[in-house]
Every structure is written in structure tokens, then in C-alpha cells.
Amino acid sequence: MQYSLVVGGELVPGARSLDVVNPATGDVFATCACADAEQVNAAIAAAGSAFSAWAASPASERSRMLEALADRIAAEAEELARLLVSEQGKPFGDAMGEIMASAAMLRYFAGFQLEDEVVCDDETARIVIHRAPLGVVAIITPWNSPVLMLANKIAPALRAGNTVVCKPAASTPLTTLAIGAMCAEIFPAGVVNVVTDANDLGDRLTANPAIAKISFTGSTATGCKVMANAAQRITPLTLELGGNDAAIVLDDADIEAVAPQILGAAMRNAGQVCLATKRAYVPEDLYDAMCDKLAELAGEIVVGNGLEQGVSMGPIQNRTQYEKVLGFLDIAKEDGRVIAGGEAIDGPGNFIAPTVVRDIASDSRLVTEEQFGPILPVISYSDIEDVIAQVNGSPYGLGGSIWCGDVSRGLAVAARIETGIVWVNKYMDLRFDVPIGGVKSSGVGVEMGREGILSYTRRTVINSQPASAA
């Protein structure tokens, strides 16, 4: 298959090309189009030209096309999932889950009713909050869940009447280009544009004065650069950045029930999830038993090529991140006691054994920084107040979880955690109608739900004479 850019409704070859590596084998398995700065500008111009007609089109038309895209993605789910495994590494079942969730996300926003809100209608005034699309939205996505991150941005952006220029990460461009080609057949020319880069044109995209909004998911460091560009023109933006989510186990928790969930939340997608559990705090009395159980379960995880049957964890997506995770393994050995994994797995792929680390101090870099890999540090505690202070002392504020017997105790702790979402006795329960977003260095704004789609609109308050005065 040819993987072309999508600019102005056309599939166009790139000014450059990009080799795509399968992280499970280390082999280049595909080559795709890669844009240069002029092609990024052309995509922005095409989106700009398409904007007013798209914004003026009936909402029902826009919904119909989002539904058509969802149908197309669902119809080609297996093929897309295989492509996703090949470029990203996750197990095939998880890849299918991502593809189908993306189709469902498109359908959710296709059905969303975005109506003006009447806030006052009496003898003094009629006041309406009118919502209109913003213009050209720059959509920049990361390499951990490229399809879902694309869907949760284009669905609300397009439904609200914006046009988009999408840029995937340089190491996972193929699924986005494949979906871009579908969009070229479904949407009017210029409504959906896709450009790729060699991790060097994001800056061009966000600095372009024709961009009306930026929606970015990626690291906090890159998010800072995006925000600096947005600051030049006060461009609205949504940033979904890093996290250091804690799992806090209370002293009445049932270890057998809780351990598999905590480990699952830490190891999903080989730990490469912004909302993954990145540290666990366990009371002294439960500590040994919990560590033993986590280590036992980590040993049962089957690591390998996500296209092979029975594999439950794939490789680290790219070499740079792999080297970073290896560095965290060194810290694990120095600062704690490794009770499962602890090593890279031999072979050409970026595989790392699921790792559990105990007897580690809460100020180790493995605890205070975001590892974004399959390494779970488990910290013993005696005073829950200390844990709450440590968790809230993090510069991050994305998510977290509380694990307990008596739910009312869990809820009381949850209310004191300074993050965008806290789960109690569950994890990663994400719903399309529930806004999600980080606080502090984990981000600005929210995605999903009513608040999510409203962030792709401008608000005009229309305050008029009451109808009775006419």
C-alpha cells in the first residue's frame, strides 16, 4: 500500500519519505510519505479554504460523514489493527480494541447535539450562548495510541464544524495516513488533511498564524513548546501531557482482587499509557504479600510480537524510549530490589521484561519521574497522610486510583488527590461522555464529553431585548 499525505482532498506524495520500523523486529517494514514545511503550509491553506463551507454545512451532514468514517474503520478493523500492531507494537487484541473504540468515539460525537444555550429569557433580556467552530485545528498525536488519539480529536473538531490538519508521530504514521485516505473519500476536499514529519515540523504547524486551535497529546516537555507557540497569538489549545499516576492501596484492601488490577494498569501497552499506574503505595502490613503477588503476576505476562497468539505485552514503541526505560531499570537496581523482570529481553525488538521493584524510597527517580515503560515501583507506607502529600507533591496531576475494602474510605482519600481523575476500585474506565484531562503539568483543558467538544468552539453571548419588547 502507498501511504500518501492528504492535502486538499488529494493523496499526494511526500517531498521526503519516512521509513517505519516494526518495534517487535527492528526491521523497516514500510516507507511512507513525509511532508516538508511547504506541504504543511499547503495543508493548512487547504483546511483554511474548506472551512467556511464546512462550518456552514448542516450539522446532520457532518454527522453523516463521521458515521461513514466510523463504518469504514469498523469494516477494515482487522487490517487497521494489524497495521497498528506492526508500527506500534501492542498485542493484536488491544489493537482491535483501539480501532473499535475509535469507531465508537466517532459515532458518539456524530450523535452529539451542539445547540445554543438559552441562559436567560425573561422580561429583562433574552441571552443565548451561541457556539461556532473556530477554524483550522492543528491535531498533533503521539505514538502510544495513535488511532484513538486521532479519533478523540477529529471527531469533536469536525462535528463542531472545524477543518483539521493532523500530524501523527514520526514513528507511528501509517494508521493515521490510512485513515486520512478514507477521509479523503468521505469528506469534502480540505476538511481533513494529514501530514507526516520526521519529528521536525510540529513547530511549523503550531506557529502558523492560520491555526485557530491546537489539540496536542504528547510529553510535557513538548507540550511546553506547543504552549509557547500558542502564546504568540493566544491560540486556544488543549494539552494532554504526561502523568505519574499513583495506585494507593488502603489497609482494608483485598490483595488477591486488587493486585491483578494494579499490575494490569501498570503494564497495559507496556506501560506506555499516559494514564498508566506508574507507582503503587502499599501499607506496611500488606506490603510483603502485595509485592509477592505483583511479582508472581508479572512473571505470567507473555512478552512478544503483538501479532503472535497468546502475547499479552508488546515491545517499547521506539528506540529512544527503550533507552530511557533501560535507564530506569538501572535506577531500579540501584534504588530498590527487583523482584520480577529487571532486564531487556534478548532479540532485535525493543522488549523489556515486566518489572516490579520493592524496597524503594519515595524520592527515587523511578518514583518521582514518569518511566513510561513496564516497571512498577512499589512503596511501603505507614501513614496515609504522607502518601497523600507525596502524591500531591508531584508536578503531574493526571489520574490515579484508590484500592480499598470500605468504599467510603476510598472516596474520602480520592477527594484529596490533586489530579484530573481518580478511580476507586477500578481503573481506566474512560467514557466518551465523561470529560478527561490533567491538571498541573499534565495538561490544559479536557477531551471527551460536552466540555471536550465545546473546546472546539468559540462562545458568543448574544444578549438581546426580550421578545416581549419587540
When the beta carbons of 90 and 293 are compared against ligand ADP, the nearer one is 90
Q: Interface with ligand ADP by CB under 6 A: which range of 138-146, 177-185, 330-338, 395-403? A: 138-146
Say how far apart CA 418 and CA 440 lie, in whole Å.
Answer: 9
Using the rule CB under 6 A, is 170 a contact of ligand ADP? yes
Q: What are phi and psi of 177, to 5 degrees?
A: -65, -40
* H/E stretch holding 424: strand 423-424
Using the rule CB under 6 A, is 142 a contact of ligand ADP? yes
**Least distance (Å) between residue 335 CB and ligand ADP:** 23
Residue reference for cell 481518580:
422
Interface with ligand ADP (CB under 6 A), residue total 16
Annotated catalytic residue 183: no
Exactly one of 89, 161, 173, 218 binds ligand ADP (CB under 6 A); that residue is 218
> Which of helix, strand or coil describes residue 142?
coil
Using the rule CB under 6 A, is 271 a contact of ligand ADP? no
> Which of helix, strand or coil describes residue 351?
coil
Using the rule CB under 6 A, is 137 a contact of ligand ADP? no
Exactly one of 18, 80, 157, 169 binds ligand ADP (CB under 6 A); that residue is 169
Contact between 122 and 466 (Cβ < 8 Å): yes
Question: Hey, how many other C-beta atoms are within 10 angstroms of the C-beta on 134?
Answer: 21
Say how far apart CA 434 and CA 414 lie, in whole Å.
Answer: 17
When the beta carbons of 54 and 216 are compared against ligand ADP, the nearer one is 216
> Which of helix, strand or coil describes residue 183?
helix
Residues 6+ apart with CB under 8 A from 252: 404, 405, 406, 409
Using the rule CB under 6 A, is 202 a contact of ligand ADP? yes
When the beta carbons of 144 and 261 are compared against ligand ADP, the nearer one is 144
Using the rule CB under 6 A, is 156 a contact of ligand ADP? no
Q: What angle do CA 111, 117, 118 make, to 5 degrees?
A: 145
**Least distance (Å) between residue 75 CB and ligand ADP:** 27
Exactly one of 57, 219, 312, 425 binds ligand ADP (CB under 6 A); that residue is 219
User: From the CA atom positions of the chain, what is the Rg in Å?
Assistant: 23
Residue at shortest CB range from ligand ADP: 202
Contact between 93 and 138 (Cβ < 8 Å): no
Using the rule CB under 6 A, is 317 a contact of ligand ADP? no
> Which of helix, strand or coil describes residue 274?
coil
Q: What are phi and psi of 376, to 5 degrees?
A: -110, 115
**Least distance (Å) between residue 138 CB and ligand ADP:** 8
Annotated catalytic residue 240: yes
Question: Which residues from 223-262 bind ligand ADP, rule CB under 6 A?
Answer: 225-226
**Least distance (Å) between residue 219 CB and ligand ADP:** 4
DSSP 395: S
Using the rule CB under 6 A, is 199 a contact of ligand ADP? yes
**Least distance (Å) between residue 213 CB and ligand ADP:** 14
Residue type, 82: R
Footprint of ligand ADP (CB under 6 A): 140-142, 167-170, 199, 202-203, 206, 218-219, 222, 225-226
Residues labelled catalytic: 240, 274
